[in-house]
Amino acid sequence: MTSAARSVATLREMILRGELAPGSRLGEVELAERLGVSRTPIREALGRLAAEGLVELVPNRGARVASWSAAELAGIFDLRVLLEPRLTAFAARNATPADLDELDRLATQMHEVGAPGPDQDLDALVGLNRRFHDTLVALADQPALASALAAAVRMPIVLRNFHAYGPAALQRSLAHHSEIVAACRAGDPTWAEAVMTAHIRNARAVMVPAAPAAQEES
């Protein structure tokens, strides 16, 4: 990989993990030192991430991690609820027993790291959740729908943050993953689609009200 490609991949992951918070400034000099590269690949990386919607380039002020208003987030979730349940229904039709075992393993791991207590690790939950959803999208094998969904969910605070969840909302979210696997094992796309719809609406109820506070803190 070139320095620019490595910089893109590293910065993208830092944003999606929440290590670079929405609204935070992205200084070329600081990032170059942090990643051990020159400013040129950093500048190119920021441009590419801006095209993905993860970075905002502000005239005369430089770059910052993209942030969204409550209204913008509500629109994103409205789009997700049209696309992702349909993809989940396709995944339910296509998944093999091995695919379902992998989804079940991810759902079980999410329960383990997300359960309340001293071992709870919400940051670990982020990566597992991403893999679960990405696996369903891949199994759906619907490139047009997948591309439309990717444009909507690249924003890190939509799918990637569990710190805003209260105990009840988090429990519902974790249970939805297991129920989606059960629906797929039953060969019932309608059930799988319905659970994913509930899953996204649960996330919407948490994330949209939390958006203004998250932006003020950043």
pLDDT in tens, 98-107: 999 999 999 9
Write the CB contacts of 69 (distance below 8 Å, at least 6 apart in sequence): 211, 212, 215
Domain range enclosing 123 = 70-217
Render pLDDT for 6-39 as a digit per residue (tens, 0 to 9).
999 999 888 877 788 888 899 999 999 999 999 9
What average pLDDT does this structure show over 108-134? 91
H or E element, residue 83: helix 70-94
Task: Say if residue 205 is in the same domain as residue 142.
Answer: yes
What average pLDDT does this structure show over 191-197? 98
Structure tokens, 208? 């949209």
The predicted model scores a pTM of 0.76
How many domains does one find in the chain?
A: 2
* Domain boundary pick from 65, 82, 100: 65
What is the rounded radius of gyration, in angstroms, for the C-alpha atoms of the chain? 18
Beta-ladder partners of 64 = 25, 56
Task: Say if residue 44 is in the same domain as residue 59.
Answer: yes
